[in-house]
Amino acid sequence: MGRLDGKVALITGAARGQGAAAARRFVAEGARVTIADVLDDEGKALADELGAAYQHLDVSSEDDWAAAVERTVDEFGSLTVLVNNAGILHFSELAKTSLADYERVIRVNQIGAFLGMRSVVEPMSHAGAGSIVNVSSVEGLAGMPYLVAYTASKFAIRGMTKVAALELGRKGIRVNSVHPGMIDTAMVSEAAGGAEIDTSWVGKKVALGRVGQPEEIASLVVFLASDESSYSTGAEFVADGGATATHALKM
C-alpha cells in the first residue's frame, strides 16, 4: 500500500528540481498528480514518464490557477494536496535591487503561494480534508545578504502558512511550511545567469558537511502530504543539514 493512496496532488514548479523529485515520490506512493510549471516541455516529458497530468501554470496568474485546479478536479475527481513549490531566486545587494526585480520575486514566491492556497480552499473543503505544503527556505527563518526579495518572500510564506492553518484546521485542511537549506538543483546557477556555480563550499559549512539532494526534501513533503502527519499544522519543518542549528558566532 502506498503512503499517498487516494490522494490527488497539484505540485507547482514540478518540471525539474525539488518539485520533480516530489512528483516522482508522490506517484510511487500512489498519489495521482498534476505537474504544473512554466517549463512546458520538461513538465510534459516528466508527466508522460510518470503517468501524471501536466498543466501550464504561472503561479502569479489567477487565471492559470483557476484552470489548474479545474483540470485536476476534472481529471482526478478531487484535489487533496497542494505543494506550493515553484520559486525563483534573485541575488543583488539592497541598494542595487530594482523595484522590478523585487516585485518579480514577490509575485512568484509570495503571491504565487497565496493564490495557490486560496485556490484550493474550495475543493479541499468539499473533500473534507487536505494538506497544503508551502516550500519556504532557511531564508524564511533567518536573513541572508544579497537576497532581500527572496528572504522577504520566504518569511511571508512562513507567516501565511500559520494564518491558513488557523483558518482551515476545522475544515480538515492542514498547512505547513518546509524550510530546505542548500539543495543541489539548477536554481542557484539560473539566478547567476546560467553560470556553473560550485556550491560544495556551502555544504561544508553545515553539520552534515554537504549540500542536500532534492529527494531528501521530497521525503519530507511526502510525510506532510500523507496522513502520517495528521496532527501537524501551522508548523515549520526544517531540512537543512544543520544550517540553522547555530548562529554567526560559530567557530
Ligand X SMILES: NC(=O)c1ccc[n+]([C@@H]2O[C@H](COP(=O)([O-])OP(=O)(O)OC[C@H]3O[C@@H](n4cnc5c(N)ncnc54)[C@H](O)[C@@H]3O)[C@@H](O)[C@H]2O)c1
**Is 150 annotated in the active site?**
yes
Burial class (CB in 10 A: 0-12, 13-18, 19+), 249: exposed
Q: Binding residues for ligand X, how many (CB under 6 A)?
A: 28
CA-to-CA separations, 243 to 217, 234, 247, in angstroms, rounded: 15, 22, 9
User: What b/e sequence results for 91-101 when a residue is b if at least 16 CB atoms lie within 10 Å of its CB, and e otherwise?
Assistant: beeeeebeeee
52/57 with CB nearer ligand X: 57
**Backbone torsions φ then ψ of 3, nearest 5 degrees:** -70, -15
Q: Which positions from 91 to 130 touch ligand X by CB under 6 A, shown as an x/- string?
A: -----------------x----------------------
Is residue 168 involved in binding ligand X (CB under 6 A)?
Answer: no
Q: By the 8 A CB rule, do 179 and 240 touch?
A: yes
Q: By the 8 A CB rule, do 52 and 28 touch?
A: no
Residues forming a β-bridge with 173: 130
Site residues for ligand X, 189-248, by CB under 6 A, read 190
Is residue 22 involved in binding ligand X (CB under 6 A)?
Answer: no
Q: Which three cell numbers stand for residue 34?
A: 498534476
86/165 with CB nearer ligand X: 86
Q: Which positions from 24 to 63 touch ligand X by CB under 6 A, shown as an x/- string?
A: -------------xxx-----------------xxxx---
106/172 with CB nearer ligand X: 106
144/163 with CB nearer ligand X: 144
Q: Which three cell numbers stand for residue 169?
A: 484546521
Question: Residues 47, 127, 135, 160: which binds ligand X (CB under 6 A)?
Answer: 135
Calpha distance 224→235 (Å, rounded):
10
Catalytic site positions? 150
Residues that bind ligand X (CB under 6 A): 12-13, 15-19, 37-39, 57-60, 85-88, 108, 135, 137, 180, 182-183, 185-187, 190
